[in-house]
Amino acid sequence: ETGVTQTPRHLVMGMTNKKSLKCEQHLGHNAMYWYKQSAKKPLELMFVYNFKEQTENNSVPSRFSPECPNSSHLFLHLHTLQPEDSALYLCASSQVQSSYNSPLHFGNGTRLTVT
């Protein structure tokens, strides 16, 4: 149990589908993140939220749309994805992003396959 819960664990969707990934953290943190993990590539930061406000969008295509209704919940809405978007999507949380030594706590991820 990492304190960060992601659902679903696995998702298969067609290119015309719309789906959402959900993340919930039970650690009292105030920063939340979406990362993409593809085979043989470094973890890629997608979005950052501090105190529910989006502070970073790392040039992510608009077919990925994040939502952060409160400090404990984070969503990633997906629509008209491409096969190259297939990857492991990891959610993470931490104390305020400006604390340099504050480690990220990751969820187990959603394994997404786009067909």
Partner 1 sequence: GQNIDQPTEMTATEGAIVQINCTYQTSGFNGLFWYQQHAGEAPTFLSYNVLDGLEEKGRFSSFLSRSKGYSYLLLKELQMKDSASYLCAVRTDKLIFGTGTRLQVFP
Residues forming contacts to partner 1 in the complex (CB under 8 A) are 2, 4, 40-43, 45, 48, 56, 90, 100-101, 103-109
18 strand-pairing partners: 79
Comparing CA positions, the residue from 64, 110, 63 lying closest to residue 91 is: 110
Closest separation in Å from C-beta 101 to partner 1:
5
Rank residues 17 and 102 by Cβ distance to partner 1 and give the closer one. 102
CB of 79 to partner 1, least distance (A): 26
Closer Cβ to partner 1, 68 or 91, answer by number: 91
Residue 84: φ, ψ to 5°:
-70, -5
**Minimum CB distance to partner 1 smaller for 64 or for 106:** 106
